[in-house]
């Protein structure tokens, strides 16, 4: 086999209804369904080259050669692709995030989505969007949601083959903007893989799981109806519920820092006074403030003035993972 290459670009995504906890860790089958918006312009670009001259996989992320756990996680994902393609050839993976490294923006969603699409193309596999989403999910759960475009729902499914994400609305359905307030650039102590494994140790997780269909339906309805106030209430409720699980796990996980809480309070005050804005927070201290395009400049300015906010990135609804052709 000659060297066989594929390149893909995939956007990151922000969950409006969160994924936290697995019912099967090895397969990354989620405990609940989730719903997200792809983030245009916050992407990973990945090239995979299967090369018969290699005796092991080589993984370079943002120009740094990876080893140990980071290398193993990518090599394990390549193994899934190799098994499907019935090949054993090792690969060189070169991956770049276009958002500055260390800004605390999660890169596993865009990273594993881009890796999946690039590796499948390089291996000569022609998979459907659904099959790509199933595969990306096994690398990182939230990566399943970066395969389809726009606003995306990841259904729990009954097993691996039907736990995939699909688009519920195109990027132009609603001109929302995610204003991401960066309050810390440090690497989190416990990443999401470790966090998912702890979720069931919180006595609150069962209640969160039982209530999940209500939150998902409410969020989907608000999104499809472009009803901002309804969206805002459910997005904040869902985010805080996830953090309640994190803070009551054994051991507990506290991701918020003082500026995180200051932003949460400010955003609720702004909304009470008529500004359409709501917060959602992932496994870290940075705050995603969702607003509409008309108010994005105002929200960005206000966030920038809060003590502890280092900078504010913005992203509009983005498309799905794409193969880069002609390289
Ligand atoms: O895909 P993971 O394992 O990095 O999990 C993502 C977890 C959250 O970002 C906290 C929530 C979500 O649904 O994206």
Predicted structure pTM score: 0.97
Name the stretches of the chain with pLDDT < 50. none
Cα angle for residues 104, 142, 100 (degrees, 5° grid): 25
Atom of ligand 1 nearest to the CA of 282: 10
**Residue 57: helix, strand or coil by DSSP?**
coil
Q: Supply the pLDDT for residue 285.
A: 94
Nearest to 281 by CA among 294, 262, 295: 262
Pocket residues for ligand 1 (CB within 6 Å)? 15, 18-20, 34, 106, 108-109, 140-142, 192-193, 196, 282-283
Q: If you measure from the C-alpha of residue 68 to the centroid of ligand 1, how many angstroms do you get, rounded to a whole number?
A: 22
Atom in ligand 1 nearest the alpha carbon of residue 112? 1
Q: What is the pLDDT of residue 107?
A: 82
Separation of alpha carbons 230 and 186, rounded Å = 33
Of ligand 1's listed atoms, the one at least distance from the Cα of 196 is 3
CA 149 to CA 319: how far, in whole Å? 4
**Cα–ligand 1 centroid distance for 88 (angstroms):** 30
Considering only CA atoms, which residue is closest to atom 6 of ligand 1? 142
d(CA 192, ligand 1 centre) in Å? 6
Identify the pLDDT of residue 4: 96
**What is the C-alpha separation between 98 and 279, in angstroms, rounded?**
24
Please tell me the predicted confidence (pLDDT) of residue 185: 80
- Predicted pLDDT of residue 103: 64
CB of 253 closer than 8 Å to CB of 162? no
Ligand 1 midpoint to CA 201 (Å):
18
List the Cα angle 17/316/232 in 5-degree steps.
40
Those residues with Cβ within 8 angstroms of residue 99's Cβ, 6 or more apart along the chain or in another chain: 12, 42, 43, 105, 107, 313
Per DSSP (E only), the strands in 122-281 are 151-154, 165-169, 176-182, 277-280
Instruction: Calculate how far, in angstroms, residue 114's C-alpha sits from the geometric centre of ligand 1.
Output: 16
Terminal CA-to-CA distance of the chain, rounded, Å?
Answer: 19
Ligand 1 centre distance from Cα of residue 82 (Å): 26
Neighbours of 20 (CB within 10 A): 28
Mean pLDDT computed over every residue of the chain: 96
pLDDT at residue 186, rounded to an integer: 76
Dist CA 284 CA 181 (whole Å): 12
């Amino acid at each position: 086999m000659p060297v066989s290459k594929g390149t893909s670009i995939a956007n990151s995504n922000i969950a409006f209804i969160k994924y936290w906890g697995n019912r099967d860790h090895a397969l990354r089958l989620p405990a609940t369904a989730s719903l997200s918006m792809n983030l245009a312009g916050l992407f990973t670009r990945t090239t995979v080259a299967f090369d018969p001259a290699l005796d092991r996989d080589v993984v370079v992320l943002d120009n740094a050669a990876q080893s140990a756990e980071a290398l193993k996680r990518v090599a394990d994902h390549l193994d899934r692709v190799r098994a499907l393609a019935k090949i054993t050839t090792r690969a060189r993976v070169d991956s770049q995030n276009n958002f500055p490294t260390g800004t605390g923006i999660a890169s596993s969603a865009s990273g594993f989505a881009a890796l999946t699409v690039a590796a499948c193309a390089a291996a000569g596999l022609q998979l459907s969007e659904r099959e790509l989403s199933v595969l990306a999910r096994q690398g990182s759960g939230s990566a399943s949601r970066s395969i389809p475009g726009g606003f995306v729902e990841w259904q729990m499914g009954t097993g691996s083959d039907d736990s995939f994400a699909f688009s519920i609305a195109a990027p132009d359905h609603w001109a929302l903007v995610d204003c991401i307030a960066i309050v810390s650039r440090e690497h989190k102590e416990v990443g999401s893989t470790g966090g998912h494994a702890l979720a069931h140790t919180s006595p609150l997780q069962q209640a969160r799981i039982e209530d999940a269909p209500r939150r998902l339906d409410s969020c989907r309805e608000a999104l499809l109806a472009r009803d901002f106030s309804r969206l805002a209430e459910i997005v904040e409720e869902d985010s805080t519920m996830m953090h309640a699980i994190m803070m009551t796990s054994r051991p507990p996980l506290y991701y918020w820092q003082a500026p995180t809480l200051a932003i949460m309070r400010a955003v609720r005050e702004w909304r009470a006074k008529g500004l359409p804005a709501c917060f959602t927070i992932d496994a870290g201290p940075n705050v995603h403030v969702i607003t509409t395009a008309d108010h994005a400049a105002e929200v960005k300015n206000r966030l920038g003035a809060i003590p502890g906010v280092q900078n504010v990135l913005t992203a509009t609804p983005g498309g799905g993972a794409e193969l880069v052709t002609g390289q």
